[in-house]
């Protein structure tokens, strides 16, 4: 059981360097490459089905802005409040 717990702890994604507190640009670059590869596969899959290269992104935009706009607005507000809360306490304003 201990081995399983240790493997889960290694899979945590940290965008901040634990020693300096600044952004870990190697992790950001790794995540950008992984996200780009996933987007390339999605575009290639849609293009091979005859739907067009931009079909996954058009579908995502349709879901976010036409079918479920209240969820999109609500999640954007929560993310914005969380970012404000983070910045508020990072500077020492308690």
pLDDT one-digit tens code per residue, 7-58: 555 556 677 777 777 888 888 999 999 999 999 999 999 999 999 999 999 9
Listed in sequence order, the residues at least 6 apart from 43 whose beta carbon sits closer than 8 Å to its beta carbon are 53, 54, 56
Give the H/E segment covering residue 28. helix 25-48
Q: Looking at residues 59-83, what average pLDDT do you find?
A: 95
pLDDT at 2: 56
Is the sign of the CA dihedral 71, 77, 79, 85 positive or negative?
negative
What pLDDT band is residue 6 in, cutting at 50, 70 and 90? low
DSSP track, 32-93: HHHHHHHHHHHHHHHHHTTS-TTHHHHHHHHIIIII-HHHHHHHHHHHHHHHHHHHHHHTT-
Whether 72 and 29 share a structural domain: no
pLDDT at 94: 58
Domain span at 74 = 54-94
- Tally the domains of the chain: 2
Whether 30 and 19 share a structural domain: yes
Whether 58 and 42 share a structural domain: no
């Amino acid at each position: 059981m201990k081995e399983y717990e240790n493997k889960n702890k290694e899979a945590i994604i940290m965008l901040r360097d634990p020693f300096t507190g600044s952004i870990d640009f190697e992790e950001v670059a790794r995540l950008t490459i992984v996200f780009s590869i996933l987007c390339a596969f999605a575009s290639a899959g849609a293009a091979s089905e005859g739907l067009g290269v931009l079909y996954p992104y058009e579908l995502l935009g349709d879901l976010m802005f036409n079918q479920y706009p209240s969820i999109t607005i609500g999640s954007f507000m929560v993310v914005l409040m969380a970012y404000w809360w983070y910045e508020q306490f990072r500077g020492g304003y308690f």
